[in-house]
Structure 1
């Protein structure tokens, strides 16, 4: 009945009726056309690909392409030997080459204020294996590690791990102590910002490791949010290209989590920096073997872990407030509960937020960035990627990390051109099409890596991406082009089957 007749008793003249539902969710075969769009990319320079910034919940490179930091923590500079651990048995460049070979693109380097100010030489280095480090100060050893990271295409994040030299988290749970006060902490960050201002290998500063006795807001000497803003703005005044990385606290509104892992306060009191698009939030997360937290004790705790992650830190990414970077997570994989946690968190980092096997982020976006704790085998809590011989790789840990690593082709400074292939309407059946590259003024093998293969649109999907690796060089060549062509479609026809990839010199970025 009409709206005006809503309360009148209707009279039924026909007791049954037939309803026909027209399927308008998918198009007819004639409407299923494919097209591919052009792409432009800035080539690298043979080192890392330049400064990074943020866009929504994505970390992006200088060309605006999403980047995922997927790396390892290599500790030691913060300790009393003032150098990365393991150099007593291996060459540092050899270890870093191994990191790249295993698919890692970032190193988080912990340090202490004392390391920056000590007059002592670093120790724990076999100079017969590391002759170029002979005679260097701790800071100069850091320079050497950073320089080589740039040569092999790795990023570096500096992490203020402690005030005084030592092992583990700071004793007082704050970013300062009686020997190195808050202003010294800020001044040291400013000094590092100036030291590496022309070094895009150093992409970000993790302002302090696990400020577990800090408060999120509220003012006073323990207000971590306010201190992070002060330090962040100070370093951005020197180098506005740095990512400012802010960890969480331990407790907010009487809800407790891992040291540095509680970022619930961001919802009420976000960090505000003077430079836009440079802020990244960074929790830490660990399994039952590190500490038997209450949320691990239910028989079916694994089912609830995605909700735990979301409540404490994942909502920042899911709601597109800012990018999230897990600065530390790791396990020895000896506790059966750890395996459940490890699987749950790596799925979550990939973008599978409910752990149901389906990625929940848009095509072309990257998941949550991370650096695994640790590269070192001598972490008492977690062990490392390396075994105790500082050489053998723990493959059981890698099998969960490999699917979430951000990969190019291993070429230092390589960048990626992304070509979006579009299906005009969703299909009720799979649609496939082949693609292949061909050279123009850009030469395969010298300027880009040739690519060919097939892509499949599952029912309902309308967008896919073809990626082509663009190789690094320092030559001034002007814009160069190559082509990506579509062919042999099944289930659709090709409307626009050719796209031009334009490679711009790195100097234009």
Structure 2
């Protein structure tokens, strides 16, 4: 291919979805990348390297077809691919063995640059955009300080700064008409070259003579080079995003970058950063966490003490420390709505440990900052010329998705991926709905997220909780439907006959025809709700819980609120113990959530902010009870003012104190929502204790005859089935004892004749429950529980008392032995 042909614009590929392509070219607006309709376009990307190495083409083409790999990228939920290339690749042929032409016959006879064209065309046919990244000068693995550290090779008479500018200009002209090539990443990881010594600086402004003097001394201004490159690219191709990365050592913040590049690059500029567990802010010591023993540990600590190297790398920081450092380095650009930041490289291996722990913290922060990203990398197998296998890759060895899923992909999907929908030019209510789907997950995305997590119990349950908490609009919608159906039917539905949310009744016979179409919708979500409850209990049993105070602002009708306050005050005046007891027959109790999972905020400031914005008249402050606590599960959700703590269904709330105040008294941060003439309104603060007392609730409701026939046994069975394996025996024992006590109470109250059939049922269910409890406990080695279950069963009329007692004695002897 001649130089003139390279400069000619290539035609866009055929077979691309026109509706998808209509949203390009992209631009920037404040902190976001936006499409032609002005809606945010999420750069949820992944790196696909190879064109920057000695093979000169993307990895995997020697194993799999280009079509298959591009389809895989789309199926994993990514919307963008960062394609590293070298300047050497632009003028090179394909290396032998780097492409299997039997699987990729369309690539035969093409140059390396033409193969890159086909890669971007194919990605576009799968609705994935491309961003070109000038990764290296020479076709070789990108490492530490070397000849690829700068944007030119100081030892080469060919790969000069001028040649680098010409290469970018050529690419700008070449992809001028390919709107799905949405951006150019000017240079990867700018760093110093040891020989001949050249050191990059960010000068930005200053007299030219100073820049020339520094250049003569070996200091080259990356700001000046990026500005000149951007100007030439905007002349050649004015509608691409321009990504400018920071220098990586020392790794400073972006405080002066935007002032050097804006407003000249307004609506085009994206600033790029890279983060790994082994690097860090400032003058970091790479892989410092591996220096854990002997002289390596001593030298590491000494060098850090002398401030030669930074005190901590990113992987050694706590969640709050890491969040604070990232906010100081680049998060402020997002907070002030200056320009987008793209975390264009970060990654880790799948093995549990130091790196994966950091990755989980880091991805959570990405979600909270709502920042775009590109994971490193898609590739698997041997690194081309880099030594060893690629440990951070996400695919199987055959370049297809892992059948068992991948924990890193699960975390990215859970924290960050927003499933794409086909863009349309919409107005009014349709546009608002489309915007809604830009920040919420579709049913397909939720199902795919769950499937990706099925290989690991922890990830599956965590994902279920996250989806439920994040997409709580589903619960609100179902509860609204349930209320409408309930009102239309006009009959009481058994408490034991509940639907998906726990509050929504199942669809009874005679349901009005208008509601019939939504019945499958409710029924299909019932397993999800069961999974949420099981997840909450599993995490609590695993001691993964949120023990701190949580908050929930509410807007309650004044009449009902006043009745609540009056009854509480009356109970206090009568001398009834309110705060000190956990007995359900004493004190004052609330059931929050309307039969659904009650959620709250872990941040007081966020709760106050929401209260102010929505002018709520109640602030509920929730503390776990001291004797029978119910702990919520805390979810690290992105964004602000979100309910990030969720309680299990069996949680009750005991009132500890009620106080009156005014809204302005709650303002500790000087919120603008409390300003103005209407800034003061009455607020009731209700302090409650979250209590787990399922069996006590069942006993109380049964004693008050507020349960329908068969409902007690059904509820207890549901409770037992949802138990973690190590608690099943305990729950069966407790359920059997509740049924046994209920039968005894009915006999004692003289209603045996009227409800003899129900008493017999209770005794039969109790025997079955206790027998299964003993069996399960023995299998699990819980001999004390087994003994107690057998003795309780022996006390039930109709049981084989002698056999049960003998077995209990044998179990007890085994326990003592």
When the two chains are superposed, the root-mean-square deviation of aligned CA atoms in Å is: 3.3
SS of alignment partner, residue 281 of structure 1: strand
SS of alignment partner, residue 350 of structure 1: helix
Distance 1:123 1:269, change over 3 A: farther
- Whole-Å separation in 2 of the counterparts to 1:201 and 1:296: 37
- Whole-Å separation in 2 of the counterparts to 1:224 and 1:408: 36
Distance 1:296 1:164, change over 3 A: closer
**Number of the residue aligned with 1:291:** 287
CA contact (8 A) 1:408 1:415 kept: no
- Whole-Å separation in 1 of the counterparts to 2:76 and 2:46: 11
**Number of the residue aligned with 1:171:** 146
CA contact (8 A) 2:66 2:122 kept: no
- Find out whether 1:180 has 2:191 as its counterpart: no
- Whole-Å separation in 2 of the counterparts to 1:56 and 1:341: 29
- In the TM superposition, residue 81 of structure 1 has moved relative to its aligned partner by 1.0
- Whole-Å separation in 1 of the counterparts to 2:223 and 2:269: 13
CA contact (8 A) 2:276 2:314 kept: no
The counterpart of 1:82, out of the listed 56, 59, 74, is 56
**Number of the residue aligned with 2:410:** 399
The counterpart of 1:390, out of the listed 399, 407, 410, is 399
SS of alignment partner, residue 250 of structure 1: coil
SS of alignment partner, residue 233 of structure 1: helix
SS of alignment partner, residue 161 of structure 1: strand
**Number of the residue aligned with 2:355:** 338
- Whole-Å separation in 1 of the counterparts to 2:62 and 2:391: 21
- Whole-Å separation in 2 of the counterparts to 1:381 and 1:287: 16
- Whole-Å separation in 1 of the counterparts to 2:417 and 2:28: 17
- Whole-Å separation in 2 of the counterparts to 1:191 and 1:410: 33
- In the TM superposition, residue 119 of structure 1 has moved relative to its aligned partner by 4.8
SS of alignment partner, residue 150 of structure 1: helix
Distance 1:389 1:151, change over 3 A: closer
SS of alignment partner, residue 351 of structure 2: coil
CA contact (8 A) 2:34 2:41 kept: yes
- Whole-Å separation in 2 of the counterparts to 1:297 and 1:201: 34
Distance 1:245 1:382, change over 3 A: farther
**Number of the residue aligned with 2:119:** 145
**Number of the residue aligned with 2:793:** none
CA contact (8 A) 1:236 1:275 kept: no
- Whole-Å separation in 1 of the counterparts to 2:425 and 2:414: 20
**Number of the residue aligned with 1:370:** 373
SS of alignment partner, residue 230 of structure 1: helix
Q: Greater CA deviation, 377-386 or 60-69?
A: 377-386
| Structure 1: unaligned runs, 5 residues or longer | 1-42, 353-366, 422-429, 437-451, 465-509
- In the TM superposition, residue 396 of structure 1 has moved relative to its aligned partner by 1.2
Q: TM-score, normalised by structure 2?
A: 0.42
Distance 1:298 1:141, change over 3 A: closer
Matching of residues 394-473 of structure 1 within 5 Å: 395-409=406-420, 417-419=431-433, 460=611
- Whole-Å separation in 2 of the counterparts to 1:462 and 1:309: 31
**Number of the residue aligned with 1:317:** 334
Matching of residues 32-71 of structure 1 within 5 Å: 44-47=18-21, 49-71=23-45
**Number of the residue aligned with 1:326:** 343
The counterpart of 1:244, out of the listed 219, 242, 245, is 242
- Whole-Å separation in 2 of the counterparts to 1:418 and 1:122: 52
- In the TM superposition, residue 295 of structure 1 has moved relative to its aligned partner by 1.8
- Whole-Å separation in 2 of the counterparts to 1:45 and 1:297: 41
SS of alignment partner, residue 182 of structure 2: strand
Distance 1:90 1:246, change over 3 A: same
CA contact (8 A) 1:326 1:370 kept: yes
**Number of the residue aligned with 1:355:** none
**Number of the residue aligned with 1:192:** 171
- In the TM superposition, residue 462 of structure 1 has moved relative to its aligned partner by 5.7
Q: Greater CA deviation, 103-112 or 303-312?
A: 303-312
CA contact (8 A) 1:121 1:137 kept: no
SS of alignment partner, residue 244 of structure 2: strand
Distance 1:184 1:70, change over 3 A: same
Structure with larger RCO (C-alpha < 8 A, sep 6+)? 1
CA contact (8 A) 2:366 2:416 kept: no
CA contact (8 A) 1:217 1:269 kept: no
- Whole-Å separation in 1 of the counterparts to 2:139 and 2:62: 19
- Whole-Å separation in 2 of the counterparts to 1:207 and 1:121: 25
CA contact (8 A) 1:211 1:248 kept: yes
- In the TM superposition, residue 212 of structure 1 has moved relative to its aligned partner by 1.6
Distance 1:297 1:267, change over 3 A: closer
CA contact (8 A) 1:72 1:108 kept: yes
Alignment deviations for residues 282-324 of structure 1 (CA, whole Å, 9 cap, x no partner)? 0000013972374249976343111121222222222222100
- Whole-Å separation in 2 of the counterparts to 1:47 and 1:311: 36
- In the TM superposition, residue 409 of structure 1 has moved relative to its aligned partner by 4.8
Alignment deviations for residues 50-86 of structure 1 (CA, whole Å, 9 cap, x no partner)? 1111111111111110111001100001111111111
CA contact (8 A) 2:28 2:34 kept: yes
**Number of the residue aligned with 1:282:** 272
- In the TM superposition, residue 116 of structure 1 has moved relative to its aligned partner by 0.5
Alignment deviations for residues 330-385 of structure 1 (CA, whole Å, 9 cap, x no partner)? 00143622223212221221125xxxxxxxxxxxxxx2111100000245564201
- Find out whether 1:347 has 2:364 as its counterpart: yes
- Whole-Å separation in 2 of the counterparts to 1:125 and 1:300: 42
SS of alignment partner, residue 295 of structure 1: coil
Q: TM-score, normalised by structure 1?
A: 0.66
- Whole-Å separation in 1 of the counterparts to 2:236 and 2:614: 44
The counterpart of 2:318, out of the listed 301, 312, 320, is 301
CA contact (8 A) 1:240 1:275 kept: no
- Find out whether 1:124 has 2:98 as its counterpart: yes
Distance 1:120 1:87, change over 3 A: closer
CA contact (8 A) 1:331 1:338 kept: yes
SS of alignment partner, residue 390 of structure 1: coil
More strand by share: 1
- Whole-Å separation in 1 of the counterparts to 2:343 and 2:391: 16
SS of alignment partner, residue 156 of structure 1: strand
- Whole-Å separation in 2 of the counterparts to 1:415 and 1:343: 37
**Number of the residue aligned with 1:212:** 191
- Whole-Å separation in 1 of the counterparts to 2:95 and 2:432: 47
